[in-house]
Amino acid sequence: MAKNDLQADIILRGGEIIDGTGRPRFAGDIAVKNGKITAIGDLSAMRGAEELRAEGLAVAPGFIDAHAHSDTAFTRDSSGASKLYQGITTEISGNCGDSPFSAPPGNADPWQLSSFADYLEAFRARGCRMAVNQALLVGHGTLREAVVGKENRPPAPDEMAEMQRLLRRDLADGAWGLSLGLEYAPGCFAGQQELNALGQTVAEADAIVTCHMRSEGLQIDSALNELAEIGRSSGAHVHASHLKLDNYTVHGRAPAVWETIEAFNRKGIRFTADMYPYAASSTTLSIRCPRWSLDGGREALLRHLQGPRRPEILEGIRSHYFNAQRAETCLISDDAGLWPEIVGKTLRDVAENLLHTADYAEAAAQVLLRTQGKAWCVFFVMSEKDMLYFLSRDIGIGSDGYALPGDPGKVNFVPHPRSYGAIAEFLRLAREKGLCSLEEAVRRVTGKPAAVFSLPDRGRLAVGMAADITVFDPAAIAPRATYLQPVQLAQGVHTVIVNGQIALRDGRQTDVRAGQLLRKRAIK
C-alpha cells in the first residue's frame, strides 16, 4: 500500500471505542480524512497530520440532540457552545410546529423564508457559519399560517392541497419531516383529517411526523391516540416530542403511557418518542390561556385581555393552572426585554410583591399584557419518578433547547438548563442511577436518533461515516447548569470533531465552525 494511502488528517489513539450500536466497547484508534472515518482498529502503522491521545476516555459518535430549537441560533451566535460542550454534533430542529419555512409571504423577519430551498440558499449567500450540524423539520404551524392564516377553522380543499404541495416540495428539497405543535396556535386548530392528510404526504417521502402533543397531562391518552391515528391512517412514522406527564393528577402513570406506546408498535404503527431529563418544562405563558382566546394569534389574545372577554380568560387561566401553590412553580425566564424586573422571579413573587395581589390569574394576565404575550416560563410540573421511569426505557434524548453561547453576558434571558445540560445530565443519571450500560446510553444519543430520523451517515463509528466524533470521560460528564444559573457549560467532554474538523480540543472550543445544514436524501 502506498505511503500516501496510510495518511490521515486526524488519528484518535488509544481510546475505548463505543460505536453507537450498543455493542461492547473495545480499545482502538480511529482515522479521519476529508471529513470521513477512514479506518478503525490498531492504526499504529498509520500517521496523521493531527494525532490526539484518548487513553482512559470513551470515543463515541457525535451526540445527536433529538429535539432542539436552534433553527436560526447561528444568526445570533455561531459557537453553539451550550451544545458542543455536551459533545453534541447534530441537532434536530424546526420542532413543535415552528420552523423558518414555509413562512407566510411578506414576513418582515429575514429568516422567515418561503421554502426550505430558500433557507438553504440564504445560509449560503449570507455567509453563515455554525459549530453544530442542523437537520430541520417543516413546522406545521408555520405552514398552516402561510396557507390558512391564524384562524380556528379547517382548511378548504384547495388550501389543504396547497399545504400538501408546499410540504411535498420542502421534503423533496431535503427537509427531514413534519413537526406538529398541537398545543400552540395555529396548530391547535387542526383536526384529525388535516393531520392524516399531511401524514400521507410525509409517508410518501419516507419521512417522520414529530409532535408536541395536544395534551401532556389530563388528556394524554387522547393525545397519544390522535398521534397514533396519523401513523395508522397514513403509514407515516410518528414521534412524540418531549414525552412527559405535566399535571400532578396524572403523576405515576408513566408505565401505563409507555405500555400504550409499545402497544401501538405491536399493532404496526411506528411510534417513537424523546424526552429531556428534567422535571421542569419551559414554554410560553400564553399556553395557560383558553384555546379560543388564541384564535387569531398573539394579537387576538392581547385584544381579548383588554376587552369584555377578559374575565373569561382569567377564569380559563385560573382553572387551567393557577393557585398559590402552582404559581410558586412558575418561574418567569424571558420578558422579551419589556419587564426585566420579573425575570428570574416566580409568578407568585410577581403577584404578591410587585403587583400586590393574591389573584395569580390576574398576575398572569398582567405579565402577558406587559410582555405583549411573549413571556416564557419554566414550569416545575413533572414527577422525578415518572421522569426516571421513561429514562429507563428505550427513549431518545432531546434538549427542547437552543444552541447558545457560553458567556452569560451574551444571553439576555434565563434559559432552561436543558440547553446546556440535557445530554450530559442523561449520561450522569445513567451512570449514577444505573439506568443502563454506558454502551446503551451512548446508543440512545447516537445510533438511536440517527435511525429514528433516518440520518444515514451519522450516529455510528464505522468506516465511511461522517467524522462526527465525541471523546469524553464517562466518569465525569455532567452538566453544570442549574435553574438559577443556567448559562454554565457542561463538563467531561475532551474533544469534539465535526465533519472531520476539531471543534473542541482539550475541553476548549476552537475557532472551527464546521456545522452543516443537513439534507435528507429524497426518495425517488
Last residue of a domain, one of 340, 355, 379: 379
Q: Check pLDDT > 80 for residue 3.
A: no
Residues 126 and 147 in one domain: yes
Residues 227 and 94 in one domain: yes
Give backbone dihedrals phi and psi of 421, rounded to 5 degrees, phi first.
-145, 5
pTM score, whole prediction: 0.93
Residues 167 and 87 in one domain: yes
Last residue of a domain, one of 349, 379, 409: 379
Q: Check pLDDT > 90 for residue 1.
A: no
Biggest CA–CA distance in the chain, Å, is: 82
Is 501 within 8 Å of 515 (Cβ atoms)? no
Give the structural domain span for 500: 3-61+491-509
Is 455 within 8 Å of 92 (Cβ atoms)? no
Q: How far apart are CA 84 and CA 66, in angstroms?
A: 14
DSSP 94-120: S-TT--SSSPPTT-SSTT--SSHHHHH
Residues 268 and 403 in one domain: yes
Residues 167 and 270 in one domain: yes
Domain-embedded: residue 78? yes
Q: Check pLDDT > 90 for residue 433.
A: yes
Domain-embedded: residue 130? yes
User: Cell triple for residue 323?
Assistant: 393557585
Instruction: Bin 98: left if φ > 0, else alpha if -120 < ψ < 50, else beta.
Output: beta
Domain-embedded: residue 514? no
- CATH number where 51 lies: 2.30.40.10
Residues 262 and 179 in one domain: yes
Mean pLDDT score, 134-159: 97
pLDDT for the residue numbered 203: 98
Domain-embedded: residue 524? no
- CATH number where 113 lies: 3.20.20.140
Helices (H) and strands (E) in the chain, counts: 16, 21
Domain-embedded: residue 54? yes
Residues 497 and 371 in one domain: no
- Total domains in the chain come to 3
Q: Check pLDDT > 90 for residue 107.
A: no
Residues 239 and 130 in one domain: yes
CA angle, 376 then 396 then 467, to 5°: 105
Q: How far apart are CA 283 and CA 184, in angstroms?
A: 10
Domain-embedded: residue 407? yes
367-385 residues labelled b (16+ CB within 10 A) or e (exposed):
bbbebebbbbbbbbbbbee
Q: How far apart are CA 306 and CA 351, in angstroms?
A: 19
**Helix (H/G/I), strand (E/B), else coil: 261:** helix
Residues 73 and 214 in one domain: yes
Give Cα 18 distance to the centre of its chain: 24
Residues 149 and 209 in one domain: yes
Q: Check pLDDT > 80 for residue 2.
A: no
Q: Which residues, including other chains, have CB under 8 Å from residue 125's CB and lie 6 or more apart? A: none
Q: What is the pLDDT of residues 166-181, one digit of tens each?
A: 999 999 999 999 999 9
Exposure of 297 by Cβ count < 10 A (0-12 exposed, 13-18 middle, 19+ buried)? middle
Domain-embedded: residue 426? yes
Give backbone dihedrals phi and psi of 408, rounded to 5 degrees, phi first.
-60, -30
Residues 133 and 197 in one domain: yes
Q: What is the pLDDT of residues 122-139, one digit of tens each?
A: 999 999 999 999 999 999
DSSP 68: B
pLDDT for the residue numbered 41: 97
- The total of other beta-carbon atoms located within 10 Å of residue 165's CB is 12
pLDDT for the residue numbered 347: 95
Residues 47 and 70 in one domain: no
Domain-embedded: residue 518? no
Helix axes 220-234, 192-204, angle to 10 degrees: 50
pLDDT for the residue numbered 523: 40
Q: What is the pLDDT of residues 371-430, one digit of tens each?
A: 999 999 999 999 999 999 999 999 999 999 999 999 999 998 889 999 999 999 999 999
Last residue of a domain, one of 356, 379, 402: 379
Average pLDDT of every residue of the chain: 95
Q: What is the pLDDT of residues 220-252, one digit of tens each?
A: 999 999 999 999 999 999 999 999 999 889 999
Exposure of 432 by Cβ count < 10 A (0-12 exposed, 13-18 middle, 19+ buried)? exposed
